[in-house]
Amino acid sequence: MHRITLERHQVWLYLLALGLGLAAGSALQGSAAWLEAALWPLLALLLWATFLQVPLLQLHHALRDLRFTGAVLAGNFVAMPLVAWALVEALAHVQPDPAVRLGVLLVLLVPCTDWFITFTQLGRGDALRATAITPLNLLLQLVLLPAYLWLMGGTATLPAWDPARLAPALLVLLLPLAVAAAQQAWVRAAPPALQARHEAVCNALAWGPVPLLAGVLFVVAASQFDAVWQGLGVLPQVVPVFTAYLLAAAVLARVLARAWSLPTAQGRTLAFTLGTRNSFVVLPLALALPAGWEAAAVVIVAQSLVELLTMALWLRWVPGRLFPSRNSA
């Protein structure tokens, strides 16, 4: 099986992992707390394998095409955050739970840095530019996320931010990032033989994010069965929000592509970067929230599943309808 085939069908693996996790959690009934010990190392391994695929030290590549970069930054860090803000304000009328609001904001404010590239390639976008813009997307989301949450989260979310509880989650997020960056810096100066070996390791680890994320979902569902099961009740409210977000991403991709006069392949890439979000990068933050805020993690998992199911349609619709080839338009 090719890796791209695994990534194309990953949503079914995640659904299976969630189902098995809920079944295991139900059978163990509160005795699965020992699984939590495996959760944080598993998350760290997932993030490390993911960050290794991102050219973290090649930010300058994104500046080679200022039109495309300008469209991506305007979309990901101005337009789509405003959409997310409008959506959580509308959501508050039917679901006032601050944990749900926080989960929606956490996941919608961070552009994807991994399967976005895969979807761009499958959807006949510009994979080279997708790869080039990814480090800049990652850097800016880490810098801007606290400001966005402070501005949009509302005072009701303030009790969730306990520095003592969030410190381990930040370590799980930032340590793999630092290790991956250090590895990439080291390999630059390494002899060709070591560079080739490192590339082989990275290629092998590229298979890791899908099964590792499935493992994370299994552990979350099994070890926090009661919270996850109760949190499923928010799905009828948040699924329409995530669907509306994706529709807005498609419309704005079309508008921005025209405004910046982007070629067809770059327009498709813009659609995929605006539509895909970095769910498992913010998942550690949600899992570190205090008791009573478990719904935030459920919301993030729900968004990733909605997104992946929708991307199966986008792979045909984006190149076929939203940004068709000129000879077929």
Q: How far apart, in whole angstroms, are the C-alpha atoms of residue 11 and residue 17?
A: 10
Across 189-234, where does the E strand assignment appear? none
What is the number of helices (H) and of strands (E) in the chain? 16, 0
For residue 7, give Cα distances in angstroms to 4, 81, 313. Answer: 5, 27, 14
Reported as a pLDDT band with limits 50, 70 and 90, residue 327 is: low
Convert the pLDDT of each residue in 123-140 to its tens digit.
999 999 999 999 999 999
In this structure, what token pair is assigned to residue 286? 């949600």
Rounded to a whole number of angstroms, the distance between the first and last alpha carbons of the chain is 34
Convert the pLDDT of each residue in 173-218 to its tens digit.
999 999 999 999 988 888 888 888 888 888 888 888 999 999 999 9
Please tell me the predicted confidence (pLDDT) of residue 291. Answer: 84
Among the four given CATH numbers 1.10.10.10, 1.20.1530.20, 2.60.40.420, 2.40.50.100, the one describing domain 55-188+227-318? 1.20.1530.20
In 123-162, alpha helices (H): 127-152
- The 10 Å Cβ neighbour count of residue 186 is 12
In this structure, what token pair is assigned to residue 23? 């079944």
For residue 45, give Cα distances in angstroms to 38, 174, 177, 269, 308. Answer: 11, 12, 11, 28, 22
Reported as a pLDDT band with limits 50, 70 and 90, residue 32 is: low
Domain residue limits, the chain: 55-188+227-318
Residue 294 in 3-state DSSP?
Answer: coil
User: In the predicted model, is pLDDT for residue 328 greater than 60?
Assistant: no
